[in-house]
C-alpha cells in the first residue's frame, strides 16, 4: 500500500546517532586485540557466575514468544511480519529506521542532505561499521542492496517503496547519492522499512537462513519450527545491547502461549494472541501487560461492486447495524479504540467520525427498507484466521442478523483469503486489519479488493502528494477521512491494540507498534 | 431380571447416554432455553447458575443451549459420515467377496490399503484446504475413511460366509452371486455392521470434535462441541466451565456409543471377536483367510 | 485293586446339573470305555476327574485316585497330578497343540514342569516318547511345528505329551473322532499297546459303540449326565439290561432296507467321464514353472436312474472337489459331466432344467441353513431353479407338503432353524432337496455328524424317499459301515482317482485293491454276539 | 523368502507410486499460491511472477511431478518454497522429535496396556477387570486434545513440574528431551493404551479359550504358567497389528498435540506448510508418512512370521 503522506512527526532525529558514534569508536578501540577480547569475555563470564552465586544477577537472556514463525530471515524476500519481528533493528539495519514512537531516525546513514528540488539525497554513512562476518560496511553495500530490491527480477514484497528512485551512486565509501525521478517526501520513511535494509553482496544469498547484518545482535541459530536465537554483537557500532542472548520462540496456539508464559518458558509475548487472558496477567504481579497502539485499522471490508453493497444505503445500513463497543468487548475483551474512518486515532490529524455511523439498528432497518431490502438479504462473510476476525465476525454476523442481513460465515486461511477475497474479489464482507502505517491511499485504487471507485477521492489523494504545506495536508487528510466515512465504503470497527505481556522484570520493550518489530536493543532485566 | 440387567449393563448405560444426547439434539430443533445465535455480550462468561444451567460463553450465549444444538451437529456429521462409509463400503466389500480373487476384488482391497495408508487428519485438512471448511466437508473427510473400514470388514466377514453350506445350496439353486450377496450374505452381516457402525459412529463424533477443534468442522454460528472447546481453551484458567461442559458432552456421547456398541455385540453374539477397532479385526481375519486359502488350494 | 474310583460324582454349572451320581472304576492295565451320544456328559466326567471344569462349576462326590480324593485336592496338588499321574488326550488334534512351539518343546514341557531335569535329559525323554508313539525322531524331529504334521501325527504328539512321564492313568476324550478310519485304527492299537506295555489304565471316551466295543475291557454307558449301565464289555454285550443301551446297539448296526435291484431302470442319469481338476500351487521361487495339484484325476463313473451309489475315501482324496464339480460349482480342466444328457459346465449358467434335476444335502446340520431365513423360505429356495416358478401360495403349499413328507409339521415352515435339533435340521435339508423333485441327490456326508439313533432314522427316511420318488443318490462318506448298509454300488477314491468300483456287497466281501482292503479292515464293527476276549 | 519379499516390495512401491500421484494431483487443486502468500498484499503482480519463476512454479505440472518423484528416489525432496531450505533437512530436523515422541508414546501405551489387559483377562469379571475396562472406555472417549489441555494446566501451569511445551533440542541432554516429550507422550498414549489394553484383553481371552491351553493345563501347568508360556505369545498377534497401526498413527496423528505443546515435529511442519501453501513440503511429508504406514505394515507382517511359525514359510 503506497505511502503518499509524510507527516511532520516522522522527521528524522539525528542527534542520538552522533552520541552513539563516539561509543562505537571507544568500544572498537578497546576491542582491538582478539586476545584481549577473549580474556575479557572469560573474566566477564566468571564475574557473571560469581554474581549468580552471591546474589541474583540480572538475567542477560530473554525468551520472546511470537505466534508465527518467519518463513525465512530475509526481510527483502517476503512480506511476513514475522521476519521483521525477528531481524528488524536487531540483525539488520537500513539507512534510516523507525523509533519506538514511529519517528524516522538515522541508522547506517549518519546524516543526509536533500537538494533544493528534492530530487537528490546525499547520505553520509557511518564509518567503522562492520557486518557480523567481520567484513567492512561501505556505500557500495547500500547501493547493491537497494538496486537489488528495485531490479526487474526483484522479489521484494514492497518493491513500490523504491519506485521513485532513479539512480543510486557511490560517491565515496562513506557517501551515497540517491537521485529521484520525482520529488518524494516519503523517501526517508520508505528507507526505514525492513524491506530496505542493507546486506553485503557477499552474504545476501544466505540471508534467508543465516542472516548477516550490521545490527546489535548476531544471528546464532534457528531450530526450525521452534525458535531462533540471537546473540549480542560485540563489535556493534552503536550502543551495545544489554542482553547477551535473545530467543524468539514460536507458539501458534493461544492456549500454548498462555501456558508458556504461566509456566515461565517464555519471558515476553510482545503481541499476545489472546486478549481474554490479559486481565489475568494484569492481576498477576509477575507480569506486566503493555497495551499500545498499532497501525492496524480493523475494518469490515465491503465489496463495493457486489450488489447490494454497490448501494450506499445498504452500506450505511450495515454501518449503523454494527455495535463497535460490543465487538471490542466481545472479540477483544475491551482492547481497541473505536474508529469511524480508515485512520489511526493516535495520529494528530485523525478526525473522529464514529458518530457518523453510530449504532442504530432501527435506522439500519429503515435504510434497508429504503434501499429495497425490507426483508434483508443474504451475503458472505469471509474471515481470515486472526481472532479479531473470527470472533468479530461472529458478533457482526449476529448484529447484522438482528437487522435482517443473513451472513454465511466461512473461516479461511490466509492463503485462501488472498486467493478468494483479495485477488478474486469473491466476497461480500470480510474483516481484516490494515496494519501498514498511513494507508488511506488504498481507497484511491479502484481495483483494490474493496473496489471503491470515487473520482473525487482519487483526485484529492493525487493533489495531496504534491502538496507540501503541512496545514493544508492535514486539512486534505481530514477531508479524505470524511469522504470515505460518508460513503460508508467499509464498516470501520476499531484500531487494533498492541497487547503485549512480559515478565515484570523486563524493561525497554516497545509499547506501540509503528512497524512490526521487536527491537531488543534497549531491553534489559531490572532484577 | 436383575441378572438380565447386569448382563446388559453396557447396553443399558450406553443406550441411556445415547438417548440423552439424541433427545437433546431432537429437542433442540424445537426449543432451547436460549437462542444460540443471539449474542449477549453483557452477560458473558457467567458461571453455571440459573438461569444459565451451564453458564454462558465469551459471547454471552447459554452453554446448555449450545450443547443441545452441538449434539445435533455432532450426531448429524457422524451419522451421515458413517452412513456414507456403509453405503459405499458395504456393497464394495460384498462385491469383492462375491468375486474373490478377481481383479475387481484386488483393486478394491488395494484401494482400501491406499486409503488406510494416508494419515486421516491430514487428508481432512487437505480436503478442507481445497473445498473450504464446513460441516459437509467434515462429513466427506470422515466418510471417506469409513469406507475402507466397512469394505474390509464386510469382505472379511462375507468371505467366511461364502464358505457356508447354505451358500452352496443357494448356488445349487442357481442363484446369482449378486442375489446371494443380497439374500444370504448381507442379512447375516447386519449384526456385525450395526456393532461396527456404532463404534464408527463414536469415532465419528470424536473425529468431528477433532476437526472442529482445528477449525475444519461446522462453521459459526452453528455450535459445535469441538469448536466450543477450541474457542474456550484460552479461558480455561478463569472460566473452566466453557471447556468442561462441551468436553464432558463429547466424552459421555462417545462413551455412551461405545458402551452401546459393546453391549450390542455381547447381545448379538457373545463369541464375536472383542477387538475394538475394525482396523484391528480385519487384517487378522485376512491373515486367517490367507491360511485358509492355502489350505483350500491343496485340499 | 482299582486305580481310580469315582463315587457319587455330581457336577453343576451355573446351578444347572450336568452330572449326577456318577460311579466309575478303572484299574491299571485295563481300558474303561465311556460311551454315549452328544450331550450325555461323558467329556464332562473326564474334565471333572482332571479338575479342569469350566469356571462356575460345582463338584461334589469323591474321586479317589490311589486313595487320594482328587475332588478335595488343592489346585497346586492337582497341578502335580496332571501330566505326571494322569494324562489326557483331547478330540481335536488340529487345535490341541500350541502352534507357536515346536512339538519337541511341548513334549519336553511335560517333563520339565514336573521334574528338575536338565535340557539334555528332557530331550532324551522327548525323543524316547516320540518313539513310543511311533513318530520316529529321524522322520519327525522335535524341531517340527504342529502345522507341519497331519491330524493323526498331531494326535500322536498329544498322546506323547500325555504319556511322557508314564502316568498311571490316561484319559482319551474322543481321540479318533476327527480322524480317518485307517488312522483311527492305528491310534487305537497304539493306545492299547501303551496300556499293555506300561500297565497304564485308560479311560476311552467315544460316541462310537464299535470303537469302544473293540477296545475297552469295561464299559460305562452314559445318557443325560447319568451312567445308565456299566460292567465288563462281555457282560454288557451279552446281557444288555438298559433299553437305551439296547437301542444304541441297534442303531449302530442299523441296516436300512435296501431297494430291490429290479426297481432300477437301466438308464444312465449322471455320466462323469475322464474328469480332471487341477489346482495351481503357489510357486516356491519366482521363476519356477507353475506347479499343479491334481485333486481329481481322470475320474469316470456312471449313476443310473434310481441307483444308490456310495463314494468313500479318506479326507483329502478329492471327493469334495468331485462333488462340487458335479454340482457345477467347480471349474474343471478336462473331461465331461453329463446329467440326463446335458453337459454341466461351471461358471456358465447351467440351464434351469438341468439344475432342477440335482440337489445336495450337506454334512453340517448347523451350517446348512441361513439362520435369518425361516424354514419355509430355506426349503423353498431350490424353487428358484424352476422355469415356471410357482406363486407364493403354491410355494407355501409345496413347502408344507414336503415338510410333512420328511416327518415334520407343516407349521414348522414358519419357524427358524435354531429351533430344531440336528436330526430335524437334516430332515429339513432333505426337504429342501426334495422340493423340486430331483432325479439325483448328492448326500455329502449327510449323516456323519448325527448321533447313531438319529442317523438310523434319517437313513430309513432316505431309503423310503428313493423308493417312492425314484431318486438316485450319490452317497459320499468316510464311514464305511454306513456306506455298506446303505448303498448298492460303491466307488473307492484315493488320491484323486477311483481305485475300485463295484457292487457294495462284492467290494466288501472281495476287495480287489489293497487300499480298499485296508479301509475295510480298519472299520470297527460292533459284534452282534460278543465272544469272550482272550 | 526373496520371492515373498520381492512381491511385497513391488506392491509397496506400487502403492507409493499411486499415492504420490494422488498426493500430487490433490495438492495441485488446492487453491492458493505460495508466492502470493509469501509476498503479501502489497506485492506487485510482476514481483509475484518473478518469485514464481524463482521457485520453479512456472514449470509444467507433469515436469514438476517428474522432478519431485525422481528427486525423492535419490533422497532429494526438493527445496521448500517458503523456507528455501532442502526439505530433506527439514524433515530430518523434525523427525528427531516426531519419531522419539511416537516411540515414547508407544512405549507408554504398551507399558500401561499390557499389564492392564493381562489383569483384566485373567481376572475376567472381577472388580479389577471392571474398573480397568471402565478406565479404557473412558480413555477411548476422551479427546486427546482436551486431555492434553488438562495435563498442561495441572502439570505445567499449576504444579510446574514440566514445561508447557517446546523442545530444548537433544543437545540439551537426553533427560531434558525426554522430559519435554513426557506430557505430549502421555496425552498421545492414553487413548492408544486404552485401545491396546482392550485388544490385549480380548485377544488373551480368545487364546485362553483355545484347546492348547486346555492341553497345557492337562500337562500339569498352573493357570499362570499356561498364561505366560502359551497364551501370551499367541495373543500377541492381534496386538502386534494394533501396535503397528498405532505407531504410524502416532507418527502422523500428532498434529494437534504438537500444536498444543508447540513441538517442532512433522505434524506441525505439515500444518504450517499447508497454511503457507508450501505444497512441495506438504507433498513430501505426506509421502513420507504414507511410506511410514506402508513400511510399518510390512514390518508387522514380517514380525508375524517371526512370532508365528505357520507364517514362516513366507520368509523361507
Same domain, A283 and A304: no
Q: Number of structural domains, chain A? A: 4
Contact exists between B and C (3 or more beta carbon pairs < 8 Å): yes
Q: Is residue A61 part of a domain?
A: no
pLDDT digit string, tens, across residues B233-284: 888 878 888 888 999 999 999 999 989 988 887 777 644 433 333 333 222 3
Which residue in A512, C433, C399 sits closest to B165, CA to CA? C433
Across the strands, what pairs with A247?
A: A63, A229
What is the C-alpha separation between B21 and C407, in angstroms, rounded? 53
What is the C-alpha separation between D137 and A35, in angstroms, rounded? 67
Instruction: Provide the 3-class DSSP secondary structure of residue C335.
Output: strand
Q: Is residue A64 part of a domain?
A: no
Instruction: Provide the 3-class DSSP secondary structure of residue A209.
Output: coil
A221: Cα separation from own chain's centroid:
24
B82/chain C closest Cα distance in angstroms: 25
| Chain C contacts in chain D segment 182-211 (CB below 8 A) | 210-211
DSSP 8-class letter at D86: B
Q: How many CB pairs under 8 A join C and D?
A: 82
What is the C-alpha separation between B75 and B59, in angstroms, rounded? 24
What pLDDT band is residue A229 in, cutting at 50, 70 and 90? very high
Which domains are present in chain C?
2-252 (3.40.50.300), 267-357+438-505 (3.40.50.300), 367-437 (no CATH)
What is the C-alpha separation between D296 and D240, in angstroms, rounded? 11
What is the C-alpha separation between D221 and C79, in angstroms, rounded? 6
Same domain, A99 and A24: no
CATH of the domain at A387: 3.10.105.10
> From start to end of B78-205, where are the E strands?
none
D168/chain A closest Cα distance in angstroms: 9
Contact exists between A and B (3 or more beta carbon pairs < 8 Å): yes
What is the C-alpha separation between C534 and C217, in angstroms, rounded? 11
Contact exists between C and A (3 or more beta carbon pairs < 8 Å): no
CB A216 within 8 A of CB A521: yes
* Residue of chain B with shortest Cα separation from A390: B220
What is the C-alpha separation between B200 and B150, in angstroms, rounded? 9
CB A302 within 8 A of CB A429: yes
Which residues, other chains included, contact C116 with Cβ-Cβ below 8 Å and sequence gap of 6+? none
Same domain, A234 and A276: yes
DSSP 8-class letter at D21: H
Number of Cβ atoms within 10 Å of the Cβ of B278: 22
Number of Cβ atoms within 10 Å of the Cβ of D134: 12
A424: Cα separation from own chain's centroid:
25
Alpha helices by DSSP H, C449-513: 452-469, 480-486, 504-509
| Chain B contacts in chain C segment 321-360 (CB below 8 A) | 321, 324, 327-329, 349-350, 352, 355, 358-360
Nearest-by-Cβ selection for D142 from B125, B251, B281: B251
- Least confident span in C13-17, C290-294, D62-66, D281-285: C290-294
pLDDT for the residue numbered C287: 59
Across the strands, what pairs with A434?
A: A297
Burial of B29 (0-12, 13-18, 19+ CB in 10 A): exposed
- Cα angle: D148, vertex D149, D153; to 5 degrees: 115
What is the C-alpha separation between B43 and B60, in angstroms, rounded? 5
CATH label, B2-268, candidates 1.20.1640.10, 1.10.3720.10, 3.90.190.20, 1.10.443.10: 1.10.3720.10
- Cα angle: D302, vertex D303, D305; to 5 degrees: 65
CB A195 within 8 A of CB A162: no
CB C110 within 8 A of CB C96: no
pLDDT tens, per residue, chain C with 534 residues: 688 999 899 998 878 888 888 899 999 989 999 988 877 888 889 999 999 888 778 889 989 988 889 888 888 888 988 988 999 998 888 888 998 889 999 999 998 888 888 888 999 999 999 998 888 888 888 888 888 888 888 989 999 999 888 899 999 998 888 788 888 888 899 999 999 988 999 999 988 888 888 888 999 999 888 898 888 888 888 888 888 888 888 777 777 765 544 445 677 888 898 988 888 776 555 556 677 788 888 889 989 888 889 998 887 788 888 888 888 888 888 888 888 888 877 665 666 677 788 888 888 777 888 888 889 988 988 887 777 777 888 888 889 988 988 888 888 888 888 888 888 888 899 899 888 888 899 998 888 777 888 888 888 888 888 878 788 899 988 878 788 888 888 999 988 889 999 888 888 888 889 988 888 888 887 766 554 443
Same domain, A299 and A389: yes
Q: Is residue A53 part of a domain?
A: no
> How far does chain B reach from its first CA to its final CA, in angstroms?
50
A510: Cα separation from own chain's centroid:
12
Backbone angles phi, psi at D42, to 5 degrees: -90, -10
What is the C-alpha separation between C497 and C507, in angstroms, rounded? 17
CATH homologous superfamily, domain D94-276: MetI-like (1.10.3720.10)
Q: Global pTM?
A: 0.81
Domain that holds residue A504: 217-292+498-525
Q: Is C476 left (phi over 0), alpha (psi -120 to 50) or beta?
A: beta
Same domain, A489 and A366: yes
pLDDT digit string, tens, across residues D207-228: 888 888 888 988 888 888 888 8
B131 lies within 8 A of chain D by CB: no
Angle between helix C514-522 and helix C181-198 axes, rounded to 10 deg: 50
CB A446 within 8 A of CB A453: yes
Number of Cβ atoms within 10 Å of the Cβ of A224: 19
Q: Using an 8 Å CB-CB cutoff, list chain A residues near D269.
A: 224-225
pLDDT digit string, tens, across residues A466-480: 776 778 888 999 999
Number of Cβ atoms within 10 Å of the Cβ of B252: 15
CB C433 within 8 A of CB C469: no
Which residues, other chains included, contact A516 with Cβ-Cβ below 8 Å and sequence gap of 6+? A81, A84, A85, A88, A194, A435
pLDDT for the residue numbered B273: 39
H and E: helices and strands count for chain C: 18, 20
CB B273 within 8 A of CB B23: no
Same domain, A176 and A229: no
Same domain, A448 and A484: yes
Same domain, A465 and A352: yes
Q: Is residue A75 part of a domain?
A: no
CB B2 within 8 A of CB B12: no
DSSP letters of D33-88? -HHHHHH-TT--HHHHHHHHHHHTTTS-HHHHHHHHHHHHHTT---B-TTT-SBHH
Q: Is residue A70 part of a domain?
A: no
What is the C-alpha separation between C453 and C458, in angstroms, rounded? 9
Contact flag B166-C385 (C-beta cutoff 8 Å): no
Contact flag B173-C295 (C-beta cutoff 8 Å): no
Same domain, A424 and A520: no
Q: Is residue A73 part of a domain?
A: no
What is the C-alpha separation between A362 and A358, in angstroms, rounded? 11
Amino acid at each position: 500500500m503506497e505511502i503518499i503522506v509524510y507527516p511532520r512527526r516522522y522527521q528524522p532525529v539525528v542527534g542520538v546517532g552522533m552520541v552513539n558514534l563516539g561509543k562505537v569508536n571507544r568500544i572498537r578501540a578497546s576491542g582491538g586485540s582478539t586476545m584481549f577480547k577473549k580474556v575479557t569475555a572469560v573474566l566477564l563470564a566468571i564475574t557473571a557466575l560469581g554474581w549468580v552465586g552471591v546474589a541474583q544477577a540480572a538475567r542477560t537472556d530473554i525468551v520472546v514468544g511470537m505466534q508465527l514463525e518467519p518463513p525465512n530471515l530475509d526481510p527483502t524476500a517476503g512480506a511476513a511480519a514475522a521476519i521483521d519481528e525477528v531481524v528488524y533493528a536487531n540483525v539488520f539495519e537500513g539507512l534510516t529506521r523507525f523509533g519506538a514512537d514511529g519517528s524516522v531516525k538515522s541508522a547506517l546513514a549518519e546524516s543526509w542532505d536533500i537538494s533544493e528540488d528534492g530530487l537528490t539525497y546525499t547520505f553520509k554513512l557511518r564509518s567503522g561499521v562492520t557486518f557480523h562476518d567481520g567484513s567492512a560496511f561501505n556505500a557500495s553495500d547500500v547501493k547493491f542492496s537497494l538496486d537489488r530490491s528495485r531490479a526487474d527480477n526483484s522479489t521484494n514484497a514492497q518493491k513500490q517503496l523504491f519506485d521513485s528512485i532513479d539512480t543510486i551512486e557511490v560517491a565515496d565509501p562513506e557517501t551515497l547519492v540517491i537521485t529521484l525521478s520525482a520529488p518524494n517526501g516519503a523517501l526517508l520513511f520508505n528507507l526505514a522499512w525492513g524491506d530496505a535494509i542493507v546486506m553485503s553482496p557477499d552474504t545476501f544469498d544466505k540471508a534467508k537462513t543465516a542472516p548477516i547484518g550490521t545490527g546489535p545482535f548476531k544471528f546464532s541459530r534457528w531450530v526450525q519450527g521452534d525458535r531462533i536465537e540471537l546473540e549480542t554483537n560485540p563489535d556493534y557500532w552503536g550502543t551495545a545491547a544489554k542482553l547477551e542472548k535473545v530467543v524468539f520462540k514460536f507458539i501458534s496456539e493461544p492456549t500454548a502461549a498462555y501456558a508458556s508464559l504461566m509456566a515461565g518458558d517464555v519471558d515476553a509475548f510482545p503481541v499476545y494472541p489472546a486478549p481474554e487472558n490479559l486481565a489475568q496477567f494484569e492481576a498477576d504481579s509477575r507480569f506486566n501487560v503493555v497495551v499500545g497502539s498499532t497501525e492496524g485499522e480493523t475494518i469490515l471490508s465491503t465489496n463495493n461492486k457486489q450488489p447490494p453493497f454497490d448501494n450506499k444505503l445498504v452500506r450505511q445500513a450495515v454501518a449503523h447495524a454494527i455495535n463497535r463497543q460490543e465487538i471490542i468487548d466481545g472479540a477483544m475483551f475491551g482492547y481497541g479504540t473505536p474508529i469511524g474512518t480508515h485512520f489511526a486515532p493516535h495520529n494528530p490529524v485523525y478526525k473522529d467520525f464514529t458518530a457518523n455511523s453510530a449504532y442504530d439498528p432501527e435506522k439500519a432497518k429503515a435504510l434497508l427498507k429504503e434501499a429495497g431490502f425490507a426483508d434483508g438479504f443474504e451475503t458472505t462473510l469471509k474471515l481470515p484466521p486472526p481472532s479479531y476476525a473470527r470472533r468479530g465476525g461472529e458478533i457482526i454476523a449476529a448484529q447484522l442478523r438482528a437487522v435482517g442481513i443473513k451472513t454465511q460465515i466461512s473461516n479461511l486461511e490466509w492463503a485462501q483469503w488472498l486467493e478468494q477475497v483479495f485477488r478474486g474479489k469473491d466476497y461480500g464482507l470480510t474483516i481484516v486489519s490494515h496494519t501498514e502505517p498511513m494507508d488511506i491511499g488504498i481507497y484511491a485504487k479502484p481495483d483494490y479488493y474493496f473496489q471503491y471507485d470515487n473520482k473525487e477521492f482519487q483526485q484529492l489523494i493525487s493533489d495531496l502528494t504534491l502538496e507540501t504545506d503541512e496545514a493544508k495536508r492535514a486539512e486534505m487528510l481530514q477531508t479524505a477521512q470524511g469522504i470515505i466515512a460518508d460513503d460508508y465504503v467499509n464498516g470501520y470497527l476499531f484500531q487494533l491494540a498492541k497487547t503485549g505481556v512480559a515478565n515484570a522484570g523486563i524493561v525497554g520493550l516497545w509499547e506501540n507498534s509503528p512497524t512490526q518489530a521487536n527491537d531488543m536493543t534497549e531491553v534489559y532485566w531490572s532484577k | 431380571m436383575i441378572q438380565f440387567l447386569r448382563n446388559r449393563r453396557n447396553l443399558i448405560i450406553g443406550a441411556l447416554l445415547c438417548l440423552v444426547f439424541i433427545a437433546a439434539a431432537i429437542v433442540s430443533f424445537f426449543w432451547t432455553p436460549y437462542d444460540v445465535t443471539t449474542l449477549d455480550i453483557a452477560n458473558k462468561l457467567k458461571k453455571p447458575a440459573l438461569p444459565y444451567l451451564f453458564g454462558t460463553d465469551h459471547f454471552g450465549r447459554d452453554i446448555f443451549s449450545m450443547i443441545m444444538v452441538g449434539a445435533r451437529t455432532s450426531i448429524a456429521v457422524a451419522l451421515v459420515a458413517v452412513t456414507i462409509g456403509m453405503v459405499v463400503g458395504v456393497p464394495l466389500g460384498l462385491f469383492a467377496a462375491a468375486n474373490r480373487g478377481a481383479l475387481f476384488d484386488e483393486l478394491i482391497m488395494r484401494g482400501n490399503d491406499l486409503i488406510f495408508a494416508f494419515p486421516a487428519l491430514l487428508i481432512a485438512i487437505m480436503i478442507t484446504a481445497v473445498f473450504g471448511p464446513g460441516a459437509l466437508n467434515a462429513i466427506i473427510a470422515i466418510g471417506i475413511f469409513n469406507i475402507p473400514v466397512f469394505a474390509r470388514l464386510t469382505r472379511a466377514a462375507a468371505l467366511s460366509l461364502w464358505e457356508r453350506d447354505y451358500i452352496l445350496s443357494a448356488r445349487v439353486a442357481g442363484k446369482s452371486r449378486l442375489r446371494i450377496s443380497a439374500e444370504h450374505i448381507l442379512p447375516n452381516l447386519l449384526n456385525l455392521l450395526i456393532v461396527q457402525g456404532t463404534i464408527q459412529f463414536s469415532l465419528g463424533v470424536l473425529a468431528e470434535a477433532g476437526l472442529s477443534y482445528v477449525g475444519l468442522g461446522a462453521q459459526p454460528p452453528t455450535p459445535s462441541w469441538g469448536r466450543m472447546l477450541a474457542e474456550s481453551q484460552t479461558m480455561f484458567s478463569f472460566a473452566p466451565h466453557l471447556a468442561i461442559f462441551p468436553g464432558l458432552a463429547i466424552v459421555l456421547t462417545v462413551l455412551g456409543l461405545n458402551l452401546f456398541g459393546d453391549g450390542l455385540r455381547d447381545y448379538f453374539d457373545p463369541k464375536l471377536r472383542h477387538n475394538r477397532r475394525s482396523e484391528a479385526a480385519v487384517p487378522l481375519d485376512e491373515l486367517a483367510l490367507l491360511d485358509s486359502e492355502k489350505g483350500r488350494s491343496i485340499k | 485293586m482299582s486305580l481310580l474310583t469315582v463315587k457319587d460324582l455330581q457336577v453343576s454349572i451355573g446351578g444347572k446339573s450336568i452330572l449326577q451320581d456318577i460311579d466309575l472304576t478303572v484299574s491299571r492295565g485295563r481300558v474303561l470305555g465311556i460311551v454315549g451320544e452328544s450331550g450325555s456328559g461323558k467329556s464332562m466326567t473326564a474334565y471333572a476327574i482332571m479338575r479342569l471344569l469350566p469356571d462356575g462349576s460345582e463338584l461334589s462326590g469323591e474321586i479317589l485316585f490311589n486313595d487320594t480324593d482328587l475332588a478335595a485336592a488343592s489346585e497346586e496338588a492337582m497341578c502335580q497330578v496332571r501330566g505326571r499321574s494322569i494324562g489326557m488326550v483331547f478330540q481335536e488334534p488340529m487345535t490341541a497343540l500350541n502352534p507357536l512351539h515346536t512339538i519337541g518343546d511341548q513334549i519336553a514341557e511335560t517333563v520339565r514342569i514336573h521334574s528338575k531335569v536338565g535340557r539334555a535329559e528332557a530331550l532324551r525323554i522327548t525323543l524316547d516318547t516320540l518313539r513310543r508313539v511311533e513318530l520316529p525322531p529321524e522322520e519327525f524331529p522335535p524341531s517340527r511345528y504342529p502345522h507341519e504334521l497331519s491330524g493323526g501325527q498331531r494326535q500322536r504328539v498329544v498322546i506323547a505329551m500325555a504319556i511322557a512321564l508314564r502316568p498311571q492313568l490316561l484319559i482319551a476324550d474322543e481321540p479318533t473322532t476327527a480322524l480317518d478310519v485307517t488312522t483311527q485304527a492305528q491310534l487305537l492299537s497304539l493306545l492299547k499297546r501303551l496300556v499293555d506295555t506300561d500297565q497304564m489304565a485308560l479311560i476311552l471316551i467315544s460316541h462310537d459303540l464299535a470303537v469302544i466295543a473293540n477296545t475297552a475291557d469295561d464299559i460305562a454307558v452314559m445318557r443325560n449326565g447319568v451312567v445308565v449301565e456299566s460292567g465288563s464289555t462281555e457282560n454288557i454285550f451279552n446281557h444288555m439290561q438298559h433299553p437305551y443301551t439296547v437301542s444304541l446297539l441297534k442303531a449302530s448296526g442299523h441296516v436300512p432296507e435296501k431297494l430291490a435291484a429290479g426297481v432300477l431302470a437301466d438308464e444312465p442319469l449322471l455320466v462323469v467321464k475322464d474328469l480332471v481338476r487341477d489346482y495351481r500351487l503357489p510357486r516356491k521361487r519366482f521363476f519356477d514353472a507353475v506347479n499343479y495339484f491334481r485333486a481329481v484325476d481322470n475320474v469316470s463313473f456312471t449313476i443310473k436312474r434310481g441307483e444308490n451309489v456310495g463314494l468313500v475315501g479318506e479326507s483329502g482324496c478329492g471327493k469334495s472337489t468331485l462333488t462340487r464339480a458335479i454340482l457345477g460349482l467347480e471349474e474343471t480342466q478336462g473331461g465331461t459331466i453329463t446329467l440326463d444328457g446335458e453337459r454341466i459346465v461351471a461358471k456358465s449358467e447351467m440351464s434351469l432344467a438341468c439344475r432342477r434335476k440335482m440337489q445336495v444335502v450337506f454334512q453340517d446340520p448347523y451350517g446348512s441353513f441361513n439362520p435369518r431365513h425361516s424354514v419355509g423360505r430355506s426349503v423353498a429356495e431350490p424353487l428358484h431353479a424352476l422355469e415356471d416358478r410357482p406363486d407364493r401360495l403354491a410355494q407355501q403349499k409345496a413347502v408344507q407338503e414336503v415338510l410333512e413328507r420328511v416327518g415334520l409339521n407343516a407349521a414348522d415352515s414358519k419357524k427358524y432353524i435354531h429351533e430344531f435339533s440336528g436330526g430335524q435340521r437334516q430332515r429339513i435339508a432333505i426337504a429342501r432337496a426334495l422340493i423340486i423333485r430331483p432325479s439325483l441327490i448328492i448326500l455329502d456326508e449327510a449323516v456323519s455328524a448325527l448321533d447313531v439313533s438319529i442317523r438310523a432314522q434319517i437313513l430309513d427316511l432316505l431309503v423310503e424317499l428313493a423308493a417312492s420318488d425314484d431318486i438316485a443318490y450319490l452317497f459320499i462318506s468316510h464311514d464305511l459301515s454306513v456306506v455298506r448298509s446303505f448303498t448298492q454300488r460303491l466307488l473307492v477314491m484315493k488320491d484323486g482317482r477311483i481305485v475300485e468300483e463295484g457292487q457294495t456287497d462284492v467290494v466288501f466281501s472281495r476287495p480287489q485293491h489293497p487300499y480298499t482292503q485296508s479301509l475295510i479292515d480298519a472299520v470297527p464293527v460292533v459284534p452282534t454276539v460278543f465272544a469272550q476276549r482272550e | 523368502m526373496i520371492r515373498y519379499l520381492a512381491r511385497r516390495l513391488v506392491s509397496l512401491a506400487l502403492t507409493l507410486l499411486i499415492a504420490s500421484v494422488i498426493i500430487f494431483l490433490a495438492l495441485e487443486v488446492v487453491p492458493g499460491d505460495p508466492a502470493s502468500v509469501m509476498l503479501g498484499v502489497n506485492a506487485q503482480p510482476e514481483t509475484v511472477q518473478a518469485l514464481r519463476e524463482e521457485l520453479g512454479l512456472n514449470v509444467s505440472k507433469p515436469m514438476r511431478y517428474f522432478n519431485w518423484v525422481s528427486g525423492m528416489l535419490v533422497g532429494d525432496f526438493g527445496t521448500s518454497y517458503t523456507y528455501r531450505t532442502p526439505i530433506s533437512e527439514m524433515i530430518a530436523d523434525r523427525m528427531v522429535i516426531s519419531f522419539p515422541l511416537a516411540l515414547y508414546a508407544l512405549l507408554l501405551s504398551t507399558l500401561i496396556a499390557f499389564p492392564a489387559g493381562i489383569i483384566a483377562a485373567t481376572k475376567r469379571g472381577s472388580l479389577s477387570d471392571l474398573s480397568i475396562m471402565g478406565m479404557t472406555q473412558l480413555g477411548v472417549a476422551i479427546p486427546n486434545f482436551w486431555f492434553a489441555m488438562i495435563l498442561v494446566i495441572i502439570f505445567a501451569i499449576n504444579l510446574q513440574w514440566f514445561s508447557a511445551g517446546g523442545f530444548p533440542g537433544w543437545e540439551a541432554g537426553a533427560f531434558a528431551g525426554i522430559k519435554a516429550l513426557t506430557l505430549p507422550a502421555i496425552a498421545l498414549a492414553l487413548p492408544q493404551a486404552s485401545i491396546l489394553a482392550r485388544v490385549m484383553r480380548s485377544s488373551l481371552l480368545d487364546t485362553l479359550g483355545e484347546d492348547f491351553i486346555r492341553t497345557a493345563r492337562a500337562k500339569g501347568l498352573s493357570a499362570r504358567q499356561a498364561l505366560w508360556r502359551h497364551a501370551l505369545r499367541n495373543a500377541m498377534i492381534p496386538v502386534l497389528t494394533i501396535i503397528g497401526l498405532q505407531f504410524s498413527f502416532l507418527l502422523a496423528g500428532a498434529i494437534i498435540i504438537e500444536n498444543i505443546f508447540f513441538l517442532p515435529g512433522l505434524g506441525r511442519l505439515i500444518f504450517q506448510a499447508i497454511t503457507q501453501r508450501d505444497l512441495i513440503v506438504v507433498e513430501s511429508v505426506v509421502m513420507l508418512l504414507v511410506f511410514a504406514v506402508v513400511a510399518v505394515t510390512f514390518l508387522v507382517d514380517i514380525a508375524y512370521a517371526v512370532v508365528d511359525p505357520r507364517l514362516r514359510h513366507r520368509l523361507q
